Amino acid sequence: MDELQAIIQYMMDHMMGEGTTSPAAVAIFKSHAMSEMKHYERLAERIIHLGGVPATSVGPFKNSGTMKEQIEKALNEERRAVEQYKEHIVLAKNQDDQATRLLLEQILLDEEDHARELEGLIEGK
């Protein structure tokens, strides 16, 4: 899942979770959606600066079912994003593109925080 798809998925999870017995999870979904919006904006600006065109389409969405399933799905996607950002950081280093590397490292920190928050929900912390 990319940043644009993450925005929509988190917002859907946030809206579908309204009124549930998990207000902490719903709040985290909304917060993560806002964070992903900032990531998308910063990445899109960098891509345009480098002469590219940012992605504007997303893949299919799945309603994850229970709140626990939504949290687990989000955690799996955050873990996948962490690995992808690590790979992209290496690519930026290899291209000697320090600005992109720094941007990706900043976003990686946010993604790791997102994963920790979701892990905390699963563990009941």
Backbone region of residue 62 per phi and psi (left: phi > 0; alpha: psi in -120 to 50; beta: other values):
beta
The full set of domain ranges for the chain reads 3-52+59-123
> pLDDT value at position 21?
67
pLDDT above 90: residue 41: yes
Q: Which CATH architecture has domain 3-52+59-123?
A: Up-down Bundle (1.20)
Position 24 confidence tier, pLDDT thresholds 50, 70, 90: confident
* Averaged pLDDT, 49-56: 94
| Whole-angstrom distance, CA of residue 25 vs CA of residue 18 | 10
pLDDT at 1 > cutoff 60: no
- Pick the more confident residue, 5 or 47: 47
The sign of the torsion formed by the CA atoms of 111, 39, 125, 22 equals negative
